[in-house]
Structure 1
Amino acid sequence: MAIRRLQQDFHHLMKNKVDGIDASPSAENIFLWNAIICGPEESIYETGTFQLQLAFPDDYPLRPPQVRFTTNVFHPNVWWEDGFICVDILKDGWAPSYDVLAILHSIRLLLIDPNPLSPANLEAALLYRDNRAEYNQRISQMIQDTHDAENNNDDDDDDDDSQIEDGDTIRQKTIILRHSITE
C-alpha cells in the first residue's frame, strides 16, 4: 500500500508542478525522498533554497513521514541540531489524505508563519517574539552563509565571487538542483 501511494504522490507532484517546491524519491529507496523548497516570495526567506529529507514509514499514509531540513534553518519550529520540523501536519494534525505536495507546501508556509508558542528552537522563538530585527538578521546571515558555502564548493566558480546573486539567479540554481534530485 505504501509503495503504491508514494508512486501516486510522485506522479501527482510531477503532474502538478508548483513553483518553489520539488521532491523525488531516492534511486535506491522509495521510502526516502529528497526535496527542495524555495523561500516564499516577499519574505525574509525569499533568497533561500532549502533542502529537506523525507523518510516515510512502511504504513504511509496512515502515519506521516519524518521530515527534516538538511540545510541549516534558523526558525522557531525547526530543531537546529538535526533539522527536524515541529509542525502539526506531521504530528497530531496528520491525515492520510495529505500527500508530499501538501506536506512541502505546509512547511514552506511555516517559514513565514512560525508558531513561537510551540518552539523547537527556543532561541529563534524568543527572537521572533522579542526582537524581530535580530531574528531577520540571523535568517539573512544563515542564508548568506549557505550561499557562501555552496559557492566555495563549486569547482566551476568564476573569478568574480564577490557578486551578490539576485533572486532570478538563485531560482535558476534551484532549477538545476531540482534536476539533479530527480535524476
Structure 2
Amino acid sequence: MTSSSGPSRKALSKIAANRLQKELAEWQVNPPAGFKHKPTDNLQRWVIEVLGAPGTLYANETYQLQVDFPEHYPMEAPQVIFLHPAPLHPHIYSNGHICLDILYDSWSPAMTVSSVCISILSMLSSSTVKQRPADNDRYVKNCRNGRSPKETRWWFHDDKV
C-alpha cells in the first residue's frame, strides 16, 4: 500500500521500530497534555488528536496531526503535518505543512513524538492571530504534486512565534 505523500516509503529499520514501540508504550503511560494517539495498526504512521489549549485562540478546537516515520527514525526527523482542516496560524499552511525548525534542520534524535507535539502546541498557543502564512497560496500551489514538507527549503525568520 502506498501513501499519497510521494514515493512509497521504506519499511522501518529495526532500530526505528524498537524506538517507536518504546515511545508508544511511554505515550500510553504518560501522554502529553492535550494530545490523544488514535490507535492504528501502522507503527509507521501515527494520527494524533490535538486539543487547543485553554485560554488560547485555539481553545476547545480539535485538530489532527499525521506523523510519518522514515526508515531511519530517530536519526531522521518524522514528517509531521496537520490533516485537513489545518488550524489557521501564521506558520501552518492550508495544506497542513508546518513551518517549525525542529521538524527539519533543528531535529535531534533525542526528540520524541511527545516533545514534537508539545512544541507544536506551544507554537499554536503563543499565536496572537489566526491567519495563514503570507505566502500560503503560492506555497500550496507549489506543493500540489504531493511534495513532502521535508523537501521544502524552509526559511526560519521568525524566532518569536
Shorter-normalised TM-score: what interval? 0.5 to 0.7
Distance 1:9 1:77 in 2: 27
AA in 2 matched with 1:60:
Y
Number of matched pairs: 120
The TM-score, its normalising length taken from structure 1, stands at 0.60
Q: Distance in 1 between matches of 2:28 and 2:93?
A: 30
Select the residue among 94, 97, 109 that pairs with 1:96.
109
2:29 to 4, 12, 15: 15
Verify: 1:75 aligned to 2:94, yes or no: no
What does residue 41 of structure 1 align with? 54
Instruction: Give the Cα–Cα distance (whole angstroms) in 1 for the partners of residues 124 and 17 of structure 2.
Output: 29
Give the 4+ runs in structure 1 shifted more than 6 A. none
Alignment of 1:55-66 (within 5 A): 55-66=68-79
Are positions 1:52 and 2:56 aligned together? no
Contact (CA 8 Å) 1:25, 1:31: kept in 2 or not?
A: no
Aligned counterparts of 2:36 and 2:93: Cα–Cα separation in 1? 22
C-alpha distance in structure 2 between counterparts of 1:43 and 1:69, whole Å: 18
Q: Which amino acid aligns with 1:57?
A: P
Structure number, greater radius of gyration = 1
- 2:52–2:60 contact (8 Å) kept in structure 1: yes
Indicate which of 127, 133, 136 corresponds to 1:121.
133
Change (3 A) 1:24 1:36: same
Quote the residue 1:26 is aligned against: 40
**Residue ranges of structure 1 left out of the alignment (5+ in a row):** 125-183
Higher helix share: 1
Q: Deviations over 1:109-140 (max 9, x none)?
A: 110235x9xxx72178xxxxxxxxxxxxxxxx
TM-score relative to the length of structure 2 = 0.68
Tell me how large the CA RMSD over aligned residues is.
Answer: 2.4
